[in-house]
Amino acid sequence: MTDIWFEEQDGSTDYIPQDPLFRCIKAERHWDAQAKLETSFCQLSELELLVEKICVQYPHPHERLDKLLDAFYTVWLFSGSDQNIPEYTLNSVCYVLNMRSGSPTALAMILSHLLQRAEFDANLALSQGEVVVHVAMSNEEGYLVDPNSGQQNWYIVPENDADADKNEEPLELVMGDEAVKLYLAQQKWAFIAADKFSHALSCVELLMDLIGDDPYERRDRGYLLNQLNCPKMAKEDLQFFVDECPDDPTIEIIQHQIAELADHNNILH
């Protein structure tokens, strides 16, 4: 079943499976030509087989979830990290599959994928701005799992409570393309913070493949192209942002950058 994952004909990465985790693994090749994707897919496949064994042993959903979380954090030793390692490394799902430690988003992507393999309705979610794993046991109850530690918070929606939606903390599910976009956006900013501008540019290009000619991605691409000494292309992107978002609070800063780029071009000519 995993053979198609390993097909890297002519070094192509055009085939991207629909699962968000697969897509994020494949994305690594865009900024790291030496990324060993086959190794990551093998590591993931091994975990999937272990998940299937647990599912056979524990058919009851609540017990199965407990056993899977126990395996993930105490047997397979996945955890958050406080090591002095670059953020873009800790964000990498390939790194986390190999080292079993990393950022909440990477951990959540791997955990939710494995829980889905165990036939749970599990997805990334944002709760108070933090990434968690949401596991719905029914329409009324489920768990929120801290991806760093595996700590579970059980919730139930009260019956006939007209104000339940108002009283509950809003939870934003992050599924499919949205999960991939979250991953790429976090990597983009981590690369920018580390002055890895060409890596960040790869993230922007992948984001634009997903969301089209987004003015904010064009703005970020303009900034990165300027850092990479491509002033003409940078000016075009920044001007696009100004034209599309004239009321943005950063507009004066962007216009100043455009003027500097225009002066630079004039000097060159």
Rounded CA-CA distance 98/96 in Å is 5
Higher pLDDT, 170 or 232: 232
Whether 70 contacts 139, CB under 8 Å: no
128 phi-psi bin (left φ>0, alpha ψ -120 to 50, beta other): left
Higher pLDDT, 159 or 168: 159
The pLDDT value recorded for residue 155 is 87
- 51: number of CA atoms within 13 Å, CB side? 21
5-9, 211-215, 253-257: segment of lowest average pLDDT: 5-9
Rounded CA-CA distance 132/121 in Å is 14
Domain boundaries, the chain: 3-177, 213-268
Can you give the pTM of this predicted structure? 0.87
The pLDDT value recorded for residue 263 is 72
What CATH topology corresponds to 3-177?
C8orf32 fold (3.10.620)
Q: What is the pLDDT of residues 110-160, one digit of tens each?
A: 999 999 999 999 999 999 889 999 999 998 899 999 999 999 999 887 766
Q: What is the pLDDT of residues 215-253, one digit of tens each?
A: 999 999 999 999 999 999 999 999 999 999 999 999 999
The pLDDT value recorded for residue 97 is 97
Rounded CA-CA distance 80/260 in Å is 43
Mean pLDDT calculated for residue range 19-27: 96
- In the block, tokens 């216009």 appear at 255
